[in-house]
Chain A
Amino acid sequence: EDQVTQSPEALRLQEGESSSLNCSYTVSGLRGLFWYRQDPGKGPEFLFTLYSAGEEKEKERLKATLTKKESFLHITAPKPEDSATYLCAVQARFSNDYKLSFGAGTTVTVRA
């Protein structure tokens, strides 16, 4: 069964203090690894899709990277508006099951 583990559970940062979130996964062939951002009471907002080891994607202060066993979401010089829960999910390749298997998320709080 697909497994996704995110760490840390919570991260408190000072504005401008860069950091990284980790997503470790076990899947029988990776179709895609997805990062989402979720604000309280709202649906997850799509950030990135990564497909193969070595791939990197960037958007504003966020950069996602992928290896064969884990993905990192780097937050550079965060601002208070980056405060949210960041969710990682995987989709397996070798099946007709297209569900996303999610990690528990990392809640990031950025203080001004």
Chain B
Amino acid sequence: KAGVTQTPRYLIKTRGQQVTLSCSPISGHRSVSWYQQTPGQGLQFLFEYFSETQRNKGNFPGRFSGRQFSNSRSEMNVSTLELGDSALYLCASSLVAGLAGDTQYFGPGTRLTVL
């Protein structure tokens, strides 16, 4: 079974630009979560989608947004990029999320560098 895939793997952008990252979950998984990982803050939760609906959102500004499609694939968008947005963005999928035994499996991440 294929794992979680994320594209692109690497991105270099300049301040003020916007970026869209894509995530394809494990086949059959309906929940997709996004996390930001930086050396200073570690792994922080961005948002979670289930059945095309955002169920939860972390403490990030409105420049960070996302969506989920009917095939469970998800995208996240960051507008007006700032230097501090440089990070590894990780997508994780799970069958439903919230149930005992429902593990989140992570993709390889997208490394975003903002210059």
Contact = CB atoms under 8 A, between A and B. Distances in A.
Contacts of B105: 46
Contacts of B107: 43
Tell me what chain B mostly uses at the interface: helix, strand, loop, or mixed. strand
B85 to A, nearest CB: 18
Interface stretch (B14-22, B40-48, B62-70, B75-83): B40-48
Contacts of B100: 31-32, 51
In this complex, the member of B33, B56, B104, B108 whose beta carbon has the largest number of chain A beta carbons within 10 angstroms is B104
Which of B33, B43, B100 has most A Cβ within 10 Å?
B43
Nearest to B39: A104
Interface residues of A, number: 24
Contacts of A100: 33, 35, 43, 45, 92, 104
A43 B111 contact: no
B45 A43 contact: no
Contacts of A42: 108-109
A39 to B, nearest CB: 10
Nearest to B104: A100
Contacts of A101: 45
Interface of A, helix, strand, loop or mixed by DSSP: loop
B97 A98 contact: yes
Given A43-B90, A46-B103, 11 more contacts: A34-B103, A41-B88, A42-B108, A42-B109, A43-B6, A89-B43, A97-B55, A99-B48, A99-B56, A100-B33, A100-B35
Interface of B: 4, 6, 31, 33, 35, 42-45, 48, 55-56, 58, 88, 90, 92, 97-98, 100-101, 103-109, 111
13 contacts: A34-B104, A43-B106, A43-B109, A44-B106, A45-B106, A46-B104, A89-B43, A98-B56, A99-B56, A100-B33, A100-B92, A102-B42, A105-B42
